Structures are given as C-alpha cells and as structure tokens.
Amino acid sequence: MEQKAIIVNEEAIRKVLTPEDALDIVEKTWRWYSEGKVIMPNKITTDMSSLGVDGWFNSMPAYIGPMNTAGIKLVGGYGKNKSIGLPYIKANVVLLDPETGILKAVLSGDLISDLRTGAQPAIMTKLLASKTDVVTLIGTGTQAYASLLCMSKVLDMKEVRLCDISEEAKERFAARFPDAPWKFVNCRSNEEGCRGADVIITITNANADLVEEPWVKEGALVMTMGSFREVSFDVVRKADKIAVDQIGQSLHRGNLKELAEMGEITADSFDILIPDVLAGKMQARTNPKDRIYAQIIGTGMLDVALAALALEKVLAAGLPVTEVDMS
C-alpha cells in the first residue's frame, strides 16, 4: 500500500493561513474539547540546558475528533536563534492518519503556532474584559505581534500601551501596525503601562514580577501568556476570578506553577474554564467590577487542528509541496 506523506514549508503556509482561520479554529477546538471530542495528554518539556544546549522543546500531541486528525506539535525556545536571524520560538507539526499511524504530513509550524497563540488572547479578551479601550502589552516580541494582530480583528481598542525592556523591540513592534486605528503609547515603566489599563497582557520570556497588584484597577483583566512567572503572586491571590484555557497544564506551567507548587492554587481555584464557556456550560465575566486574572498556557490541540486546516488550504490552492513515499 502506498504511504504518501507531504512536507509543507513555511512559505506555502504563509500564502494561505489567516488570523481569521486561527480565530475560527481555536474557538471551535476549545468548544470540542469541552464537549469531550478531543484527546489531549499534557505536554512534555525536553529541557536541554543542563547538557549545554541553550534550548527546550515541548511535545504537544492531540487527536481532534470532529476533524478526524491526529498529530503533535514540537515547539521550543532556542537561545541561539535571535543571533542567526530566526525567531526565539521554532515549531513543526506532524500529522498522522489516526486509524493507521501512517505519516500524513510534516508542516513548518511557525505561523501555525504564532496565529493560534495570538487567537487565544483575542477570544479570551472578548469573553473576559469589561472594556477594551486601553490595552497594555508587556513584551513586544513575536507572540505579542500575533496577539495584537488577532485582537485587532475582534476588539475595539483606543490605546495600546507598549512595555518592554528593549526600546528597539517596542519601536519595531509599533512599526508593524502602520495603519493602526488605535494610539500607541511607548511606556517608560510597567507601572505607567498598567495603571488605568482595561486589559494587561504579559507575553515575555522573563521570569519576574512584571505587574504588581496595586497597579491593577477595578474591572481590569490581567492575562499572562509567557512560560514562566510574569506577575506578582498578589495579582492572582487578590483577583476576584481566575480563568484558564485548560486545567491540567495550568497547574504545572507558566505564571501559576509556583502558586500551584505551594498548594495555593489547585484545580478547584479556577472559576472560569474558557472551553466550557464556549460550549455554553459556564458564564465568563458576570460582574464588570471584577478583577479577572487569566492564564493562557497554550495547548497542542489548537496547533494540530490549525495545521490540518493549513494542509487542506495549501492542497486546495495547488501550492508546491514535497511528496514522499514512506513505504
């Protein structure tokens, strides 16, 4: 039997995949997850730093029932990349025939990963924010760009405040939105960025308290997206509601990891589960005065689903791909 696999490069994916595709697939996949139509073990990290390689990668498998697609994203952060002109985060996605295990495709995962990452805060802000006039981004790198790009499709924003330890990063970031309908504000400190903001999003590779609790106003939404600690413990402790994209991984990763290890955060601490909100099982924000803290950890089901759509679109567009007979 022929075992045909397809290799799809980044160029082909960039020709067909849009932020709207990601917004649609992320919302659907979260809903399917709540409805029990997705199988997704927790991701596993391979940290190579103790053996002298400045990098780590996550293995993120999933099976998406409604798309009958199985696969895995391999995504990591690699310290060397910036110096050789590559983004810090590098991703590839492997898709399999779920019934036979035959390799269906290997896809470059950079745009797939970035767009699904960006779609998450767009959808979550729509559900959780009481207002979106003033949005603060702490960290203005690749993921922040994808986030604001996706947010611009679904939110009305008047002012976007930029905070980053790198002046150059902030300037480069603002230049990527030449026709922005909002005003960019270049902040000199995180405190200046946070005070009075309706939405505060951290998306850095820092492991530090970037946001202090007294800077967060009544009714604000604070979302952390980075892989390590990004806000002081009190931002979480004093939040009226805590929202997450998935329970299991939220207890072992990102900003909540340390609080979970200290026993202060457990599976019962989460008031709002975004997949359940989208499936109509739970309400999102119920009080405009609540300060909501949300963690977006990012899950492999979103990548596998978006990669399956990307493959379909690349093939439908007749773009060049490499075929390999694996038999």
Ligand X SMILES: NC(=O)c1ccc[n+]([C@@H]2O[C@H](COP(=O)([O-])OP(=O)(O)OC[C@H]3O[C@@H](n4cnc5c(N)ncnc54)[C@H](O)[C@@H]3O)[C@@H](O)[C@H]2O)c1
Residues 89-128: x where in contact with ligand X by CB under 6 A, - otherwise, as a string: x---------------------------x--x--------
**Region near ligand X per CB under 6 A, out of 22-30, 42-50, 63-71, 222-230:** 222-230
**Out of 193, 226, 275, 300, the residue judged to bind ligand X by CB under 6 A:** 226
Least distance in Å: CB of 7 to ligand X? 23
- Listed residue (249, 299, 301, 248) closest to 95, CA to CA: 301
**Out of 108, 132, 136, 204, the residue judged to bind ligand X by CB under 6 A:** 204
Whole-number Å distance between alpha carbons of 111 and 113: 5
Residues 155-194: x where in contact with ligand X by CB under 6 A, - otherwise, as a string: --------xxxx--x-------------------------
**Region near ligand X per CB under 6 A, out of 2-10, 87-95, 192-200, 266-274:** 87-95
Q: Is 142 in the site for ligand X (CB under 6 A)?
A: yes
- In degrees and rounded to multiples of 5, residue 56 shows phi and psi of -150, 155
- In degrees and rounded to multiples of 5, residue 298 shows phi and psi of 85, 125
Whole-number Å distance between alpha carbons of 40 and 285: 27
**Out of 143, 246, 250, 255, the residue judged to bind ligand X by CB under 6 A:** 143
CB 233, CB 205: distance < 8 Å: no
For ligand X, give the closer residue by CB, 19 or 141: 141
- Listed residue (109, 95, 72, 112) closest to 4, CA to CA: 95
Q: Is 42 in the site for ligand X (CB under 6 A)?
A: no
Q: Is 7 in the site for ligand X (CB under 6 A)?
A: no
Whole-number Å distance between alpha carbons of 92 and 75: 6
CB 202, CB 295: distance < 8 Å: no
Alpha-carbon Rg of the chain, whole angstroms?
A: 19
For ligand X, give the closer residue by CB, 138 or 160: 138
Which residues, 6+ apart, have CB-to-CB distance to 7 below 8 Å? Answer: 105, 106, 107, 321, 322, 323, 324
**Out of 34, 227, 250, 255, the residue judged to bind ligand X by CB under 6 A:** 227
For ligand X, give the closer residue by CB, 142 or 152: 142
Whole-number Å distance between alpha carbons of 119 and 154: 10
Six-digit token string for 147: 């986030």
Task: List interacting residues with ligand X (CB under 6 A).
Answer: 77, 87-89, 117, 120, 138-144, 163-166, 169, 203-206, 208, 210, 225-227, 296-298
